[in-house]
Structure 1
Amino acid sequence: MLLGLDVRTQLREIFSKDLKEPVNIKLFSQAIGCDTCPTAEELLKEVAQLDERIKLDIYSPLVDREISARYGIERVPTIVVEGDKDYGIRYIGLPAGLEFSTLVHTILQVSKREPKLSEKTLEFLSEIDVPIEIMVFVTTSCGYCPAAAITAVNFAIANDNIKAVVVDASENPDLAQLYQVVGVPKIVINRGLVEFVGAQPENAFLGYVMAAYGRLKNGQA
């Protein structure tokens, strides 16, 4: 077991109290060429066993090509957390260490079917009518990373045009190098249209997203 008895007990209590609606987790994994995939499978199986409202399906991009293409899977392991629809939330890597809290908070927030954001933020996000991808680079030892990742997740839940992609920088060094990640969390919007570093407050995070939206609308992308 990856999760200790105390952790499993705590999670059961949290899910029993705070999980509102069923959550579907899709793990895209493969046995060959992926060192962390077996651990990701075991971890998610243990999480799913804690509450019957959490459903886990495991797919191999090499075999299940149609659904992998539908969800835009390019790397393994990739975790999709969805409710009654796909919110565009992806976690690329193994959510271990401090990033396990990102997984738990994502499950809980998706179960609520609504974001945890201020009315002002929701008002601004409702204006976005073009695709926005928020990529959050994290590491499992980064104390500030979960907050940045969860903010992106909430933004994705708020607007179907927004996608949140959390990327473990250590497991994906090519992406980290491509986007010049030297500190985490680093947030990359629409593949470099706007970038910033650090777990910013909600209003500051919103400012960067709206700046990217403005550039897209002005044809600067």
Structure 2
Amino acid sequence: MLDNDLKAQLKGYLERLQRPVAIVASVDDGEKSKEMLELLEDIRAQSDRITLEVRRDDAERKPSFALTSPGHEIHLRFAGLPMGHEFTSLVLALLQVGGHPSKATAEAIEQVRALEGEFLFETYYSLSCQNCPDVVQALNLAAVLNPNIRHVAIDGALFQDEVEAREVMSVPSIYLNGAPFDQGRMTLEQIVARLDTGAEKREAAKIAGKAPFDMLVVGGGPAGAAAAIYAARKGIRTGVAAERFGGQVLDTMAIENFISVQHTEGPKLAAQLEQHVREYDVDVMDLQRATALLPAGADGLVEVELANGASLKSKTVVLSTGARWRQMGVPGEELYRNKGVAYCPHCDGPLFKGKRVAVVGGGNSGVEAAIDLAGIASHVTLIEFDARLRADEVLQRKLRSLDNVRIVVSAQTTEVLGDGNRVTGLVYRDRVGGDAHRLELEGVFVQIGLLPNTEWLQGTVALSPRGEILVDDRGQTSVPGVFAAGDCTTVPYKQIVIAMGEGSKAALAAFDHLIRASAPVAPAEAQAA
């Protein structure tokens, strides 16, 4: 199952085990059970601290396996083969069950240990989902830290009956005590905040007591991270308030155009960005959504209000709130979101194996999505509003070579259809002839570009008709002392490398603003005044 190089790497990791780890496998006679046992045997062979027990007559999902440690009450289980993106989750679970300390903050660890009640979490994931490991790893750690927390990570592609019965159409999908808990990427802190109802108030009080910053960065994507690093290197008091550190990079599968790095993945790059920022004296405030910006008053401080009721003050502010997937805005889209309407083909594609799907959007992301889905779905219809596809020619050639893909251009999607529980079809209008057409399908993947996260700035900062923040060549906005960078601005070409450059430039411009604002008045200037 594991090649020699991977075995060698795993052996090195497992040398960090501080206590025994017991693997208890639940299997039947199926091929997947055989594959799982082969994987577990490979793992057991890499450390004499690991034991493997095989059970065939228990009531657990098959194939699945539990990880525990003798003398410790740990309820952690993988249902399926955690390979692909989830192999890292398996290695971390082995280490943490084996007593190796987590990198989670001491505050988060203490919050998890203090949770009272009984919590059975079940997480449905797909092996190609880059968002799923964050949830799986967070809940696995919670199960290690608190004996009242049980977690089962379930490969949705392998347990299709459960997926159908629970109508899981988006991953990661989290269930708590048998009921839906949440969908999408979540960190340990976000999960704990949902369970610990007093956490938000305590965090708001903590933030409200912070002294003013010299530079406050709002947003934690590539632009925000670059701005924070450049500011901190100037030796000024720097803060970052981010709704989720990493921003949209977290939702990016493969990154192959980040200069000097031939290939990386979004979550990995996001983790590296955060690690780099935290190496400096930067006050990082994660899970904080900005709701209002108040220009500087008599005290010379710009104020940023947060959703939790607290506010932060700073001499300068760099806005780097990024963008999100643009929605079609048609009837049925919101109703069937995560019930057949999806925005991430890498994450949710495996749930549509053998089904009919549509991709809306003919740019690079739409064509790439259609190509990926063609290897999973029975049929893919690509719908493009324009008279021709806008993707790179190399991608178009690949798409046209696939025999289970149909391309429809000059088509406007007008409605998503469903039966009340899930998507059943889509209606589009022929923009040339005007006729309406109905497609019978089970999934709709929307890939029509980005929408800047700037609604909270309307009426305060000048925005373009598309909602982007208007900036000059220094990143200065219409509000003195407020700068902006990245995908939320009018700067063209929304690319990671460009966002980083713009974030660095905005921070340097903001620092220059600080110097000039604090410079003493020259004698001649004083006389003129």
Residue 97 of structure 2 is aligned to residue 110 of structure 1: yes
Partner Cα distance (2:101, 2:117) in 1:
20
Which protein, 1 or 2, shows the higher relative CO under an 8 Å CA cutoff with sep ≥ 6? Answer: 1
| 2:66 partner SS | strand
Residue of structure 2 in register with 1:201 after alignment: 187
> TM-score, normalised to structure 2's length?
0.35
Deviation at 1:140, TM superposition (A): 1.4
Residue of structure 2 in register with 1:122 after alignment: 109
The structure-2 alpha-carbon separation of the partners of 1:146 and 1:22, relative to structure 1 and needing over 3 Å to count, comes to same
Residue of structure 1 in register with 2:47 after alignment: 51
Q: Say whether the 8 Å CA contact 1:115–1:155 is kept in structure 2.
A: no
Q: Say whether the 8 Å CA contact 1:109–1:116 is kept in structure 2.
A: no
> TM-score, normalised to structure 1's length?
0.81
Residue of structure 1 in register with 2:524 after alignment: none
Residue 176 of structure 2 is aligned to residue 189 of structure 1: yes
Residue of structure 1 in register with 2:2 after alignment: 3
Larger radius of gyration: 2
Equivalenced residue count is 196
**1:67-146 map, 5 Å:** 68=58, 73-84=59-70, 85-112=72-99, 116-146=103-133
Deviation at 1:156, TM superposition (A): 1.0
State the Cα RMSD in Å: 1.9
Q: Between Structure 1 and Structure 2, which shows a larger proportion of strand residues?
A: 2
Deviation at 1:179, TM superposition (A): 3.0
Q: Which amino acid aligns with 1:9?
A: A
Structure 1 stretch displaced more, 141-150 or 163-172? 141-150
What is the aligned counterpart of 1:171 among 158, 178, 181?
A: 158
Q: Say whether the 8 Å CA contact 2:126–2:132 is kept in structure 1.
A: yes
Q: Say whether the 8 Å CA contact 2:136–2:153 is kept in structure 1.
A: yes
Deviation at 1:130, TM superposition (A): 2.0
Unaligned ranges ≥5, structure 2? 198-529
Deviation at 1:208, TM superposition (A): 2.6
Deviation at 1:115, TM superposition (A): 5.4
Q: Tell me the alpha carbon deviations over residues 55-105 of structure 1, each in whole angstroms, 9 at most, x when there is no partner.
A: 1111112xxxxxx3xxxx332012100012341111111222222222111
Residue of structure 1 in register with 2:149 after alignment: 162
Deviation at 1:160, TM superposition (A): 1.0
Q: Say whether the 8 Å CA contact 1:116–1:154 is kept in structure 2.
A: no
The structure-2 alpha-carbon separation of the partners of 1:109 and 1:27, relative to structure 1 and needing over 3 Å to count, comes to same
